[in-house]
Amino acid sequence: MNLESAVSRTVNMREQEIARRKAHRRRFKEKLIERFFFLNGLTAILVLGGIFALLFIKSYPAFKELGVFQFFLGAVWNPTSYSVPKYGILSLIVSSLMVTLGALAIAVPLGIGCAAFISEMASKRFKEILKPAIELLAAIPSVVVGFLGIVLVNPIISKLFGISHGLNALNGSILLAIMSLPTIVSLSEDALRAVPLTYKEASLALGANRWQTLVRVSIPSALSGITASIMLGMGRAIGETMTVLMATGNAPGLTFNFLEAIQTMTATIAIELGEVPYNTTHYYSLFVIGFVLFVMTFVVNLISDLILQKYQEVER
């Protein structure tokens, strides 16, 4: 044991200590950075929770004052009534569902047909026209579609059906169908494309033609994906505001006639939020509508998620 080895040992220990401290700091910094990103990721939950909480908190006063049944069992929405204010949102819910189902009735067959065309029949060139076209359709803002509902679809409907005007549930359904088509087409197309080639080849080998293969093999295998796409399209339609605000005539009464004017939940909020003084019963009741909308779209999304999850499990 001499001076040199003692010094070098001390220096070594010192260096190791420094290296350890440095590693520690780096790990701490890394942990900090990871924590930072985690917080960012958490914002999604925070925002969703925030929206839910806010809607609930702001609806509560209305529920407390009027009771839940007034809203859900009443079919008359007239908060600024001459006599007794009525807050029944049943007719609004029915109207929203009417345009949504009407839209799906148009968009589902068209959408699946178009998706099937793209995935099964279209040549490469056609695909390169169709796919961007669908994306373009998706990019058209709702206010423009609503505008066309007023100036273009309105006169066509009134002439076609011989009625005095064309601002009604049918108009809304057509417009919403146009808006949900891109979602349904692209997701259904993905689902169809994911069907293993072997399924189709086996079917053709057994003597089925392309149509039979499509209807009896491809579509059933892709059914979960297609259903999920329909649910998403449905969610979009329920939540759409400007299109229905401009083109459905906004008559709040309860009706099941597609050729009559209706008023959806979203349109009601858009119409009345601007005119209510803050923190009045009428104001809170608009949040009730918002809350119902939120719950509806949440449920639809959840169902679509579950379907997709089951789909992935089955595939495995």
Partner 1 sequence: MFGKTWLLIGLFAAVFSGFVLFAPAVDAGDMIQVKGSDSEVNLVQRLAEVFMQKNQDVNISVTGGGSGTGIAALINKQTDIANSSRELNAKEEEAAKKAGVTPFRVIFATDAVSVILHPENPVAKLTIDQLGKIFKGEITNWKEVGGPDLKISLYGRQSNSGTYVFFREFVLKGDYSQRMKSMNGNAQIVEGVQRDKAGIGYVAVGYVVGQNGEVKPGVKILNVAKDDKSEAFSPAKMENVMSGKYPISRPLNQYLNGKPTGKLLEFMKFQIGPVGQEIVKKQGFFPVQANWMEFNRKQGL
Partner 2 sequence: MSKKLTERLGLGLLAFSAVLVLLFLGVILFDIFSKGIAVISWEFLSQPPHQGMTEGGIFPAILGTFLVSIITVIFAVPLGMFAAIYLHEYARPGNTTRMIRLAIRNLSGVPSIVYGLFGVVLFVQMMHLGTSILSAGLTLGLLTLPWTITACEEALKTVPKAYREGALALGATKWYAIRTNVLPYAIPGMLTGVILGLARAAGETAPILFTGAAFFLPHLPKSIFDQFMALPYHLYILSTQHHAIDKVRPIAYGTALVLLGLILLLSFTAIWVRYHYRQRLKG
Task: Tell me which of partner 1, partner 2, none is bound by residue 114, counting a contact when its beta carbon lies within the kind-specific cut-off of 5 to 8 angstroms.
Answer: partner 2
Q: Which stretch binds partner 1 (CB under 8 A): 60-68, 124-132, 246-254, 306-314?
A: 246-254
Q: How far is the CB of 92 from partner 1 (least distance, A)?
A: 11
- The answer to whether 153 and 102 have CB atoms below 8 angstroms apart is no
- Of 221-250, binders to partner 2 (CB under 8 A) are 232, 235-236, 238-242, 246
Q: Is 101 exposed, middle or buried (0-12, 13-18, 19+ CB in 10 A)?
A: middle
Amino acid at 302: L
249 near partner 1 (CB under 8 A): yes
Of 312, 199, 39, 314, residue with least CA distance to 208: 199
Task: Tell me which of partner 2, partner 1, none is bound by residue 239, counting a contact when its beta carbon lies within the kind-specific cut-off of 5 to 8 angstroms.
Answer: partner 2
- The answer to whether 154 and 167 have CB atoms below 8 angstroms apart is yes
Distance between CA atoms of 107 and 117, rounded to whole angstroms? 15
264 near partner 1 (CB under 8 A): no
Task: Tell me which of partner 1, partner 2, none is bound by residue 192, counting a contact when its beta carbon lies within the kind-specific cut-off of 5 to 8 angstroms.
Answer: none
Task: Tell me which of partner 1, partner 2, none is bound by residue 179, counting a contact when its beta carbon lies within the kind-specific cut-off of 5 to 8 angstroms.
Answer: none
Distance between CA atoms of 47 and 82, rounded to whole angstroms? 39
Choose between 255 and 301: whose C-beta lies nearer to partner 1: 255
- Of 40-79, binders to partner 1 (CB under 8 A) are 76, 78-79
152 near partner 1 (CB under 8 A): no
Q: Which stretch binds partner 2 (CB under 8 A): 78-86, 106-114, 186-194, 216-224?
A: 106-114
- The answer to whether 85 and 79 have CB atoms below 8 angstroms apart is yes
The CA distances from residue 249 to 31, 46, 156, 298, 312, in Å, are 57, 37, 15, 27, 43
Angle at 113 between CA 110 and CA 117, to 5 degrees: 135
Of 70, 203, 218, 250, the residue at the interface with partner 1 (CB under 8 A) is: 250
Of 242, 291, 314, residue with least CA distance to 59: 291
- Of 80-109, binders to partner 1 (CB under 8 A) are 80-83, 91
- Of 23-42, binders to partner 2 (CB under 8 A) are 26, 29-30, 33-34, 36-38, 40-42
Task: Tell me which of partner 1, partner 2, none is bound by residue 78, counting a contact when its beta carbon lies within the kind-specific cut-off of 5 to 8 angstroms.
Answer: partner 1
- Of 265-284, binders to partner 1 (CB under 8 A) are 271-272, 274-278, 280
- The answer to whether 247 and 167 have CB atoms below 8 angstroms apart is yes
109 near partner 2 (CB under 8 A): yes
- The answer to whether 234 and 300 have CB atoms below 8 angstroms apart is yes
Dmax (CA) of the chain:
112
300 near partner 2 (CB under 8 A): yes
List contacts with partner 1 (CB under 8 A). Answer: 76, 78-83, 91, 154-155, 158, 164-165, 167, 249-255, 260-261, 263, 271-272, 274-278, 280
